[in-house]
């Protein structure tokens, strides 16, 4: 399934309010995926303010369980396929590799994994999804221009 626009991605991210993902460690607390997405993206905005794509990978990495409920192993691939046409190959690659068991990682992927782990903890206000609309639209627009070239 491919997301057709920013609105569709935002709808999915709104839909995961109250949906709980697997705990970060055995016996740990389950995380609310919506809050987890916002916190991961906020942490990346803090540590890599210029890298909008990395931040959006942090935001979108949670959508897998919503795309294919019940299929745990497919989540990262599913989520990557869903965001590729909208946000581009780099964001898709980051989303695909976000899990610690996702194989070798470059610096960006390590940062994403670290933020995703830290983003499991409550304890700071990560803002609201609406804060990300402009950035989503910017990256989507840039990506569709790039796509039109080849």
Q: Which residues of this protein are in contact with Fe ion, per CB under 5 A?
A: 116
Q: For Cα atoms 145, 146, 148, give the angle at the middle one, nearest 5 degrees.
A: 65
**Which residue sits closest to Fe ion, CB atoms considered?**
116
State how far the Cα of 117 lies from the Cα of 119, in Å rounded to an integer.
5
Give the residue with the Cβ less far from Fe ion, 116 or 140. 116
Give the residue with the Cβ less far from Fe ion, 116 or 136. 116
In the block, which residue shows the tokens 């990346």?
A: 44
Give the residue with the Cβ less far from Fe ion, 83 or 116. 116
Give the residue with the Cβ less far from Fe ion, 12 or 116. 116
Shortest spacing between CB 24 and Fe ion, in angstroms: 8
| CB contact at 8 A, 4 and 22 | no
Shortest spacing between CB 140 and Fe ion, in angstroms: 22
By three-state DSSP, how is residue 21 classified?
strand
Shortest spacing between CB 36 and Fe ion, in angstroms: 6
Between the alpha carbon of residue 93 and those of residues 17, 126, 145, the distances in Å are 25, 24, 19
**Beta-carbon-side half-sphere exposure of residue 15 (alpha carbons within 13 Å):** 14
Shortest spacing between CB 21 and Fe ion, in angstroms: 6
């Amino acid at each position: 399934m491919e997301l057709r626009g920013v609105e569709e991605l935002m709808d999915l991210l709104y839909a995961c309010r109250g949906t709980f993902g697997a705990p970060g460690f055995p016996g740990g607390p389950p995380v609310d995926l919506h809050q987890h997405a916002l916190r991961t993206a906020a942490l990346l905005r803090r540590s890599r303010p210029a890298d909008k794509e990395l931040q959006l990978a942090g935001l979108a990495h949670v959508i897998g369980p919503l795309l294919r409920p019940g299929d745990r192993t497919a989540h990262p691939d599913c989520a990557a396929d869903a965001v590729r046409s909208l946000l581009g190959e780099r964001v898709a690659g980051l989303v695909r590799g976000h899990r610690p068991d996702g194989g070798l990682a470059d610096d960006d992927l390590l940062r994403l994994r670290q933020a995703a782990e830290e983003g499991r903890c409550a304890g700071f206000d990560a803002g609201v999804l609406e804060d990300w609309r402009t950035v989503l639209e910017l990256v989507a627009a840039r990506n569709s221009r790039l796509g039109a070239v080849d």
